[in-house]
Amino acid sequence: MKKLSLSKKTLDMKLSATSDKTLRLKDCAGEVVVIYFYPKDSTPGCTVEGQDFTRLYKKFRACKSQILGVSRDSLSSHEKFKSKYKFPFELISDPDEKLCRAFDVIKEKNNYGKKVMGVERSTFILNKEGMLVKEWRKVKVANHAQEVLDFVKTL
């Protein structure tokens, strides 16, 4: 599968999301789209990251942008995670890693001394025309959502 790079059109793939939705990134044209990839539902860092995006959600919407969280977890897991923390945005289930691989976020990680393949916490911004205009890789959660919002405000 072709990897995305800055200023390239995004792939047109069907994405299974919470709230019984099937999304396509191309259908988001006209809005800025924040896509954040995270390793696993209900883990400390992923929970804080989701809560930070939730705290700033109204400000993102005021900028005509939407937020989509992505991990390899199941839709069932996503629904529980979203409900528990009252996330106002959709979570995309990517168990076959198609979207993760398109954005090149599957990386070798060290998990308690073992090498495993996992999702590298990353965030991408698509502009209103659906072009990839910004990416953050190896994201540290602290202040990240605010940094993303600050960038979105410049578009």
Q: What SS3 state is found at 102?
A: helix
H or E element in which residue 100 lies: helix 98-102
Contact assessment for residue 65 and residue 88, using Cβ atoms and an 8 Å cutoff: no
**Which are the contacts of 50, defined by CB distance < 8 A and separation ≥ 6?**
38, 69, 81, 85, 87
Q: Indicate which residue of 28, 46, 63, 100 is catalytic.
A: 46
Is 63 among the residues known to form the active site? no
Active site residues: 46
